[in-house]
Chains A and B, each alone.
Chain A
Amino acid sequence: MRRFLRDNGLTLFFLLLTVLALVGQAFAGHARYNERQVAGGGGTVSLWHFVTSAEFAVDVTENWQSEYLQFFLYIFMTVWLVQRGSPESKEIGKEGTESDEDQQVGRYAGPDAPRWARVGGVRGPLFSRSLGLTMGALFLASWFAQSVAGRFAYNGDRLAERQETVSWVGYVVSADFWNRSLQNWQSEFLAVASMVWLSIFLRQRGSPESKPVGAPRGATGVEG
């Protein structure tokens, strides 16, 4: 058990934080929702009612989609774009998908390589892009979920304001949908750019996200 916890500590820590943050969001969101209900002359709702509502779902999924979009873009763009001096980038001159030998695929695959790294056909190229594609699929799924939940929540707000409701297409071209999406995207893109740029100059001893403390400023693709 202790070995399992040690070997998976990073994943487990962030999963635990996710759950704790969701619980906190549920309580805070519930209180805020009931404040709005009372202000509008309506009745309050239970915590369970709130966490199974579109209002909670849209607030959760709008953040999820932006996180997965960030990783999807980061994974694919770091194949082709580099940043001199950043440990987040690979070495200058290695832009692109690199050779089979560099990537240890096909006949260059070692004995412990995943089976799909050795095989050809569709499976090899698919496995070679599986991380980015999965992040992309999770982005699309959570963005679609945001659009569905967002429409329910938006239409509830519209009725509270004595306005007609909108269709799904009407919602995905609405200011509400794009405001929710873009306000999350801009923060993710800024965070990535900051990480790439600041890691050129700054260090975090012991972290693989940083260069070794003594590595020169120009060292690229070196992890500590």
Chain B
Amino acid sequence: MRWRGGVAFGFVLVGAVSCSSVDDRAVADEAAAFLRALQKGDGAGACARLLPRAAESLESGGKACADEVLGLDVAVGGVRGVEVWGDHALVRAGGQAVFLSRWGPGWRVAAAGCEARPDEPYACEVEA
């Protein structure tokens, strides 16, 4: 559901709010590609789909993202649900959540391997 406002602001906003399946598809494709790369053991491919800051978080102490990302506890099930709100999105897959952020014309994974916690933000294996 991507919010796109109506032109300018001489508007009735109710009619200007719409859900964009284009963003939904792009987000689902990006998340699926990330999870597929992990499943195939393609660490470099998975890291290329992370936000730069998320990839950098795996590179502390001279470690390589491509090696570290394959050791994360990320469930690689199929994509079930997609939520897009503005420039941020949530995808549910394999009992976990993957968060994505808009990056240029597309999307990148901002956090993965995320487990829900009561009354607290998700706890993620990797995040920007």
Contacts and interface: CB of A to CB of B under 8 A. Distances in A.
Interface string B82-126: 010111111000000001011110001011001010000110100
A222 B12 CA distance: 38
B51 interface: yes
A53 B6 CA distance: 9
B80 interface: no
A194 interface: no
Contact of B87 (A60, A156, A161): A156
Contact of B9 (A53, A60, A165): A60
Interface string B1-22: 0011101110111101100000
B54 A45 contact: no
A42 B128 contact: yes
B5 A42 contact: no
Which of A57, A60, A159, A161 has the largest count of B CB atoms less than 10 A from its CB? A159
A156 B86 contact: yes
A145 B51 contact: no
Interface in A133-180: 141, 144-145, 148-149, 152-153, 155-165
Given A152-B3, A155-B85, A165-B90, A45 B102 contact: yes
B127 interface: yes
Interface residues of A, number: 34
A41 B17 contact: no
A22 interface: yes
Interface string A22-36: 100000000000000
Contacts of B114: 162
B13 A148 contact: yes
B71 interface: no
B9 A42 contact: no
B70 to A, nearest CB: 22
Interface of A: 22, 37, 40-43, 45, 51-57, 60-61, 141, 144-145, 148-149, 152-153, 155-165
25 contacts: A41-B54, A42-B102, A42-B110, A43-B102, A43-B108, A51-B8, A53-B3, A53-B5, A57-B9, A57-B16, A61-B13, A144-B14, A145-B14, A148-B13, A148-B14, A148-B17, A149-B5, A149-B13, A152-B17, A152-B85, A155-B83, A156-B87, A160-B101, A162-B124, A165-B83
Given A60-B9, A153-B86, 11 more contacts: A42-B110, A43-B102, A51-B5, A53-B3, A54-B86, A149-B17, A155-B83, A155-B88, A159-B85, A163-B122, A165-B85
